Structure 1
Amino acid sequence: MTTRTTPPDDAYDEEERLPCGRPVAEVWECRERRADDPHARTCVHCRRAAEDFERLESAVRGLRDETEHPAVDTASLTRRVMDVVRLELRPGRPLPLGTATENLWITEAVAARALRAAAETVPGVRAGSCRFRDDPEGTAVGVRIEVHAPADRHLPDTARRIRRAVYETADRELGMPVTLVDVVVADVVTPADAQEDTSR
């Protein structure tokens, strides 16, 4: 039997809000889904935020189009960049920390940042999106992390090293119970690609 309580009601209060009171991430999500939003039609703050979203997405597309590698999956690149931007804007839901008897929580954004950094301790690896899902008991989480891996390394070995680094960081640095770590290799990069990317 567990004694962990539900996450605090104010867990989402830290997200960035517009002067009208609406979260920026909520406005962006509505814009991206092209959802009907009566408030945004009359609110100058929401309209400006939506326009900022469009400009950011256009800038990402522009950088994407300037790449010298036409074989790159550009739609996937844009999606990953925007996922990270949205995650940084919204702290996300609380995730459990410690044992089931402790009422300790960490937001998704903070946990994802730490686990992406852990994955990138493996030489040549660049981390992308990091997602969480609850286990049936609600006392631990599963992790799914996307990475770009070096093409000159054995991929299964690289994935094992990433998984070990993520587990160790979750346990030793965060104290977050993790039941599994799925590593998705979204792309492979050559050493020359990696060096060029970091020099920009």
Structure 2
Amino acid sequence: MDMSDDRRQVEDERAAPDLDAERAAPDLDSELRDVIDDYLGHYVPDPEQTAGIRERILQLVRNDLYRGPSTKLRTSEGHEYSIASAAVRTIIRSAVDTVDGIRSRSVGIAAAGEPSGSAAEVRLTVTMRADIRFVAAADLIRAAVSEALERELGVPAARIDIEVEDAYVE
């Protein structure tokens, strides 16, 4: 069973609207220009100090928008980093799909733990073959996802919620 990327993104958003700190893409360039113009209207800096500052700020905003929504995590050594949420979903989907008779559908991820980002909360939906026992499969899914999070991202899973959306017969 194969879904298009657009379908998976819709499924992801439906499964975890409160998990991912995903932002809509408003016209941040114009909003930021307004803030900068307002600031510069009240403060008259030395022209040498402001050379290119507006473009540097706008470039940072554009780079963030191009990357897309991201999840902030922290390794066990305390190294904080940000990774595209779509990349995390791909890692989790690949782990789920290693379990016989189980196929991933949607994936939601959120930073958890103390300090924030030192663990991950995962919510996912799956389809399963009709002859699969869910309780045993859920244990295998959790183990696969936990191992993938540790191996690929350096963070443990604080929680993994699994919902079966559909059953199928091969």
After TM superposition, the score normalised by the length of structure 1 is 0.49
Q: Distance in 2 between matches of 1:82 and 1:96?
A: 21
> Are 1:115 and 2:106 an aligned pair?
no
- CA-CA distance at 1:118 after TM superposition: 0.4
Percent of aligned pairs sharing the same letter: 29
Q: Distance in 1 between matches of 2:86 and 2:120?
A: 14
> Are 1:152 and 2:131 an aligned pair?
yes
Q: Distance in 2 between matches of 1:157 and 1:85?
A: 24
Q: 2:110 aligns with which of 133, 155, 163?
A: 133
SS at structure 1 position matched to 2:72: strand
Would you say the 8 A contact 2:73–2:81 is kept in 1? yes
> Are 1:96 and 2:73 an aligned pair?
yes
The structure with the largest strand share of the pair is 2
Q: 2:10 aligns with which of 76, 83, 94?
A: 83
* Larger-Rg structure: 2
> What is the RMSD of the two structures over their aligned residues, measured on CA atoms?
2.7
Q: Deviations over 1:116-173 (max 9, x none)?
A: 1100001121101100233263122200011001111111111111111000100112
Would you say the 8 A contact 2:12–2:107 is kept in 1? no
- CA-CA distance at 1:80 after TM superposition: 5.4
Residue number in structure 2 paired with 1:12: none
SS at structure 1 position matched to 2:100: coil
Segments of 5+ residues of structure 1 without an aligned counterpart are 1-78, 192-200
Segments of 5+ residues of structure 2 without an aligned counterpart are 1-5, 14-21, 23-65
After TM superposition, the score normalised by the length of structure 2 is 0.57
Q: Deviations over 1:5-27 (max 9, x none)?
A: xxxxxxxxxxxxxxxxxxxxxxx
| Runs of 4+ with deviation above 6 angstroms | none
Q: Matched residue pairs, number?
A: 112
